[in-house]
Amino acid sequence: MTTQVPLVDYLVLGDSPHLRAQQCSSCGARYFDRRNGCAQCFGTGFQAVDVPSEGTVTAFTIVAVAAPGVEVPFVPAVIDCAGTKVRANLVNVDPTPTAVRVGMPVRLATYVVGRDDAGTEAIGFGFEPVGA
C-alpha cells in the first residue's frame, strides 16, 4: 500500500477527501491557516469544521505566463463551498474562456504532486467541473 500525505494541513485524505477549516466560535468566520485571533471579530476561540466538497466558481483567471518550470496555462479560481471561500486551481478542464465560467459547479479533486524515494506520495487538491 502506498503512503500518502496531504500537501497542506487542511486537506483530509481517506475514502472521502475534503477540506477542514478553522471556524471562529464567536462569528463563524472560516480560515484555512492556524489563527490566534479572528480577523473579523477578534475572537480567540476556534473549532475545526469540514468544508463541503462541492461549490461554484465565483472568480477565475487564466494564467498564460509564469515562472520558469511552472506549466501554463492554468486556471486559479475562487470557489464558494456553501459560504466558505476556497482558493484553488481548476483541474481536469480545458483552460479556455469557453470551458470555464463564473457559476460553474465544481467538486474537490485530489492528485499526486510528487513522490519521494521511499514511494510516499504528496497529495494536492484542486477543483474539477461536476461531471468530469
Question: What tens-digit pLDDT sequence spans the chain (132 residues)?
Answer: 789 999 999 999 999 999 999 999 999 999 999 889 999 999 999 999 999 999 999 999 999 999 998 899 999 999 999 999 999 999 999 999 999 999 999 999 999 999 999 999 999 999 999 976
Looking at residue 2, its pLDDT comes to: 81
Using CA atoms, how far apart are residues 48 and 25, in angstroms rounded to an integer? 10
Residue-level pLDDT at 132: 62
pLDDT of residue 131: 76
19: containing domain: 4-129
Residue-level pLDDT at 34: 87
Give the pLDDT of residue 130: 94
pLDDT value at residue 37: 96
Split into its structural domains, the chain has a count of 1
